[in-house]
Amino acid sequence: MPAVKTPASASSANPVDLVHLSRQSLGDRSLEREILSLFKSQSALYLDRLSNAKTSDERKLAAHTILGSARGIGAWIVAHEAKSIEANTAHLEDLTLLREAIENANAYIAEILA
């Protein structure tokens, strides 16, 4: 994985910054679980949309949606990869790094939700 600039509070050891997520949810654990569950399902959906996008605008929208969601939960590597794709939507980008980052984040989320 490439070096990713993360906020000072972020933990580079985990695919999701739980401190950031806690701040976003004002410490509401139930809300955190709901947000993580939504990210898990929506990231897969939007990755699929990105993979099947026919136009630059479709790719940009899908990448931007993943970017915003990832930033919301503190999935900084996912956000970094999505931002890179969003910036280059004129060309069909290789989605391998984004796919791996999402898979890692979702596996981590699955452990938390178990």
Task: Give per-residue pLDDT as tens, 22-71.
Answer: 999 999 999 999 999 999 999 999 999 999 999 989 999 999 999 999 99
Report how many domains make up the chain.
Answer: 1
**pTM metric for this prediction:** 0.86
Contacts for 42 with CB less than 8 Å, ≥ 6 apart: 65, 69
Q: Is residue 6 part of a domain?
A: no
**Residue 3 included in any domain:** no
Containing structural domain, residue 23: 18-113
- Whether 47 maps to a domain, the answer reads yes
In a domain, 13, yes or no: no
Task: Give the other-Cβ count within 10 Å of 106's Cβ.
Answer: 21
Q: Is there a domain that residue 34 lies in?
A: yes
The type of residue at 25 is: S
Domain presence at residue 2:
no
Which CATH number goes with the domain that contains 27?
A: 1.20.120.160
Residue matched to tokens 């050891």? 13
Is 4 among the domain residues?
no
